[in-house]
């Protein structure tokens, strides 16, 4: 019996632009070390960070807001709010 494994590979061509960055030596070395510890190139790290910063989804802020609220551990002391109370002022 012969085992046949078929895979489908999709190739996507992405045009990349070369840019020049100026980074101080300490930051550059720290970035290289971080990238190495995470099994990626410095180029991949910078690309990922830039995407996360400028191309984040429009709903990401909502998840981050709830995370901050969960960490705040606020206490309403049992007070219940009505929608009208929020818009009174």
- How far, in Å, CA of 72 to CA of 55, rounded? 27
| Per-residue DSSP letter, 55 | S
pLDDT of residue 22: 94
Tokens of 20: 């020049």
Per-residue pLDDT tens over the stretch 43-78: 999 998 888 788 766 677 778 788 888 888 777 788
Specify whether the CB–CB gap between 44 and 52 falls below 8 A: no
43 membership: H or E segment, kind and range: helix 42-54
The percent of residues above 90 in pLDDT, for the chain, comes to 29
Tokens of 63: 């998840």
Long-range contacts of 33-38 (CB under 8 A, 24+ apart): none
What residue ranges do the domains of the chain occupy? Answer: 25-72
Tokens of 26: 């300490």
């Amino acid at each position: 019996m012969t085992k046949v494994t078929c895979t489908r590979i999709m190739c996507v061509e992405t045009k990349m632009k070369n840019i020049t960055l100026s980074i101080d030596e300490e930051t550059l070395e720290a970035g290289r070390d971080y990238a190495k510890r995470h099994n990626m190139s410095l180029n991949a790290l910078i690309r990922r960070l830039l995407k996360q910063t400028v191309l984040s989804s429009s709903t990401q802020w909502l998840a981050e807001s709830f995370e901050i609220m969960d960490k705040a551990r606020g206490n309403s002391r049992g007070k219940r709010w009505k929608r009208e109370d929020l818009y009174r002022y």
